[in-house]
Amino acid sequence: MITMLAAAGMAFSLLASPVPAADSAPPDKVTVEVVTANGSGCPPGTSAVAVAHDKTAFTVTYSDYLAQVGVGAKPTDVRKNCQLALRIHYPQGFSYAIQKADYRGYANLQPGARGLQRANYYFQGMSATESRSHWFNGPWADSWQATDTSEGPNLIYAPCGETRNLNVNTELRVQAGSSNPSTTTSFMTMDSTDGSIRTTYHFSWKRCD
């Protein structure tokens, strides 16, 4: 099962009229509950959620999130995805939005191959945010990082006084391109065997009116 740990709030704010921003995260406990986890990138038991002590962010760690093409790869390995439904518990009088998300992993892409990282976020019952895509071109044999940021009117806030799941959808994809998949392998991962590679979601908190 996916681990549920205390989590720091990713800030979503009101959809209604603007409210004054809180100076800090809620003073009381914030937790994250994993309601469901589906997808080839997060089989059961391969994902974990943890919270920052200051409640400004939470992290998701994967241990089997790898897309690949070429020697040793199955046709379904070219794309891996994970859909997380998270329920964030926080004190009344606050709302939150995802202000920034940091994705990290490792890629080994042959010359001519390409790797894609894509993600979007939305609240249960609301329209999904626009997907953010990041391409990495071979030759590449190193760690990779991608950051999605939302500011001001682009922030999507959780409605005050309502409990809605936060849905986080991620995807990795590898294309052989002009490389030779019969003699080479290209891959891209978003997993970590030692917990050092994490996806971090940063909150932006607001007080409700």
3-state class of 154 per DSSP? helix
Average pLDDT for 92-112: 93
Residue 152 backbone dihedrals phi, psi, to 5 degrees: 50, -125
Report d(CA 14, CA 17) in Å as an integer.
7
pLDDT of residue 10: 33
Q: C-alpha angle with apex 96: 123 to 10, nearest 5 degrees?
A: 90
Q: Which residue has the higher pLDDT, 81 or 155?
A: 81
pLDDT of residue 33: 87
Domain spans of the chain?
31-207
Looking at CATH, the fold of the domain delimited by 31-207 is given as Jelly Rolls (2.60.120)
Report d(CA 171, CA 191) in Å as an integer.
12
Q: What is the pLDDT of residues 145-204, one digit of tens each?
A: 999 998 877 788 899 988 899 999 999 999 999 999 999 999 999 975 445 567 899 999
Q: What is the pLDDT of residues 17-67, one digit of tens each?
A: 333 444 467 877 889 888 999 999 999 988 888 888 888 899 998 999 999
pLDDT of residue 9: 33
pLDDT at residue 1 is higher than 80? no
pLDDT of residue 131: 83
pLDDT of residue 126: 86
Report d(CA 205, CA 169) in Å as an integer.
22
pTM: 0.81
Q: Which range among 56-65, 79-88, 132-141, 194-203 shows the weakest confidence by mean pLDDT?
A: 194-203
Report d(CA 95, CA 114) in Å as an integer.
38
pLDDT at residue 73 is higher than 50? yes
Residue 9 backbone dihedrals phi, psi, to 5 degrees: -75, 125
